[in-house]
Amino acid sequence: MAAQTPPASTGAPLGVGVVGGGSIAEWHLSSYARNPGARIVAVADVDLARATARAAEYSALSPGSEPVRAYGSHTELLADAEVEAVSVCTRNDTHSPIAVDVLASGRSALVEKPMARTVAEAEAIVAAEAASDGVVQVGYVRRWSPNAQVLKTFADAGDLGAVYYAKATCLRQAGNPGGWFADRSVSGGGPLIDVGVHFLDLAWWFMGAPRAVAVSGYTSDRLGNRGNIESLTRWKSADYDVSRNSVEDLAGAVVRFEGGAVLHLDVSYSLHGRPQVGLALFGERGGAELEPALTLFTEQHDTITEVVPHVDSRSFDIVPAFQNEIDGFVRAARGLEPSVAPATHGLEMTKIVTAVYESAARGAEITL
């Protein structure tokens, strides 16, 4: 397929295609629908009926526009000349090949996290982005939450100083989605690659995106998916199967970076304990907690002080986060600003996640 020229900064809405018709695609589609600079052109899914249903839903939301088209594959969608940029909202094992095809066509790709299961898959996307007129944005949606955006302004202004230590936690009691999420050959892993990568990325981003040099990791698979739990509602994959589970239920790591900064991460699907979500940063001039609630720590007049910003939400707010992410991708695809999360960021996260799994398997630190 011939490469396309990136859409110019014109008044015409950006023609968008979404590959995948599942729950994560709904967040993308609803956010595109609220962006006046974007027009949903097509939805593709291997289940054509699901793609057709999504297309009909979003056609109904814009009755004055041309109906959204449905396709049974991403290759069919890429043959649609009105598609100028693509969201990849599919299973982890398909992220890399679909993103590479999107980029080869000259289009930009918003690739859901994790960008890839393996370093080789991530490197293929990086190479494809380098050779393409399009750009990649990895779906690290927590970067776009209002509380994270506020903290980034403080960090970029130097209020924290150099961040030399970070602590990231996301512990679920019984939160294994099952289905393909619990099939390592498809997902690439369990809570580490699924939810842990969000917190790993956030900490790394606030630390200034340093290069990781060593990783010591651990995993555990003692509890499984806990399908026996009946009194606690949880989100389950559409292909949930209680007997299907080949991923860890707990993972953690200590990551050392060039320059001496250190990150400690722990994450779980299943755990006998209280659910916890936390992200704390410790810098030379100040510190911060992003989760569970945005708070800043510093010294003033020889006194340690705690600063509570007055913002709409001090915790992760998913609706504006996805809207901000989609709006940012539309601007990047138009060439109005660089991608906030390019493929090289996804590659760095893949290297660290891979090293955690390798370290856990070997029982030894991995040097990168």
Specify the DSSP class assigned to residue 142.
Answer: G
Reported as a single tens digit per residue, the pLDDT across 224-277 is 988 899 888 888 998 998 888 999 999 999 999 999 999 999 999 999 999 999
| CB distance 122 to 96 below 8 Å | yes
Residues 88 and 188 in one domain: no
The per-residue pLDDT for range 181-226, each reduced to its tens digit, is 999 999 999 999 999 999 999 999 999 999 999 999 999 999 998 8
What is the pLDDT, as a whole number, of residue 140? 98
Q: Which residues contact 325 (CB under 8 A, 6 or more apart)?
A: 31, 110, 137, 139, 141, 143, 144
pLDDT of residue 1: 39
The CA distance from 91 to 362, in Å, is 28
Query: Tokens representing 285?
Result: 């001039």
For strands 136-139 and 163-171, give the pairing.
Answer: unpaired
Query: Domain check: are 115 and 169 in the same one?
Result: no
Of 26-40, 86-100, 227-241, the poorest mean pLDDT is in 227-241
**2 pLDDT above the threshold of 80:** no
Same domain for 74 and 200? no
The predicted-structure confidence for 283-318, as pLDDT tens digits, reads as follows 999 999 999 999 999 999 999 999 999 999 999 999
Under the banding of pLDDT at 50, 70 and 90, the label for residue 3 is very low
Q: Do residue 153 and residue 286 come from a single domain? A: yes
Confidence of residue 10 (pLDDT cuts 50, 70, 90): low
Residue at 21 is within a domain: yes
Mean pLDDT estimate for the chain: 95
Q: 295 and 281, same structural domain?
A: yes
Burial of 49 (0-12, 13-18, 19+ CB in 10 A): exposed
Residue 225 and residue 108 share a domain: no
Give the percent of the chain with pLDDT over 90: 90
* Amino acid at residue number 116: A
Query: What pLDDT was estimated at residue 233?
Result: 87
Residue 5 — pLDDT band, cuts 50, 70, 90? very low
Please tell me the predicted confidence (pLDDT) of residue 61. 87
Identify whether residues 53 and 118 lie together within a single domain: yes
Say how many domains are in the chain.
Answer: 2
Residue 63: the pLDDT is 76
The DSSP string of 203-231 is: HHHHTT-PPEEEEEEEEE-SSTT-TT--S
**Confidence at 62, pLDDT banded by 50, 70, 90:** confident
Q: Are residues 336 and 311 in the same domain?
A: no
How far is C-alpha 200 from the chain's CA centre?
10
Q: What is the CATH number of the domain that holds 34?
A: 3.40.50.720
- Domain residues for the domain of 41 are 14-142+325-343
Same domain for 159 and 287, yes or no, is yes
- Predicted pLDDT at 166: 98
Tens of pLDDT, residue by residue over 335-366, are: 999 999 999 999 999 999 999 999 999 999 99
292 CB contacts (<8 Å, ≥6 apart)? 277, 278, 315
| pLDDT value at residue 65 | 79
> How many percent of the chain have pLDDT more than 70?
97
On whether both 199 and 117 belong to a single domain, the answer is no
Tell me, what's the pLDDT at 99?
A: 98
User: Rounded CA gap, 19 and 78, in Å?
Assistant: 10
Q: What is the pLDDT of residue 6?
A: 46
Average pLDDT over residues 92-109: 98
Whether 295 and 337 map to the same domain: the answer is no
